[in-house]
Each structure stands twice: as C-alpha cells, then as structure tokens.
Amino acid sequence: MANHESDKKPIKGAEENEESLKTDEPISERDEVKKAEDRTRKIHEDKEKDSKQLED
C-alpha cells in the first residue's frame, strides 16, 4: 500500500524530477543559477540605461 503516497505527488513535482534527472542537477541549484542570471541581466540592463541617460 506504500504506492498511494507516490500517487499523491503533484504533476508539477514529477515534471521537475524528470528535469533534474536530465540535467543531473538538483532543482534548487538550477533555481539559484536562474535567479543569479536574472539578477546579473537586470544589473547589466540598468547600467545600459544609466549610460544612455548620461549620453543624452
């Protein structure tokens, strides 16, 4: 009867588990990397905006 526990898992969780198997990275690490990349991208965009404003 232990199978009932796995049946209760949300589909999203199952998809994330498959993803982590493909990449061999824990889900949390991929999330942290994505957040870091987003922050870095935003910083670069802000710097570009600032430099364009200075040129004007």
User: For residue range 2-45, what is the model confidence (pLDDT) as tens digits?
Assistant: 555 555 555 555 555 555 556 565 667 888 889 999 999 999 99
1 band by pLDDT with thresholds 50, 70 and 90: very low
C-beta atoms surrounding 30 within 10 Å: 14
Name residue, tokens 């200075």. Answer: 54
Model confidence, pTM: 0.41
Give the span between the Cα atoms of 26 and 23, in whole angstroms. 8
Give the ranges where 1-56 is alpha helix by DSSP (H). 3-7, 11-23, 27-55
Q: What is the pLDDT of residue 30?
A: 80
> Over the Cα atoms of the chain, what is R_g?
20
Q: What is the pLDDT of residue 43?
A: 93
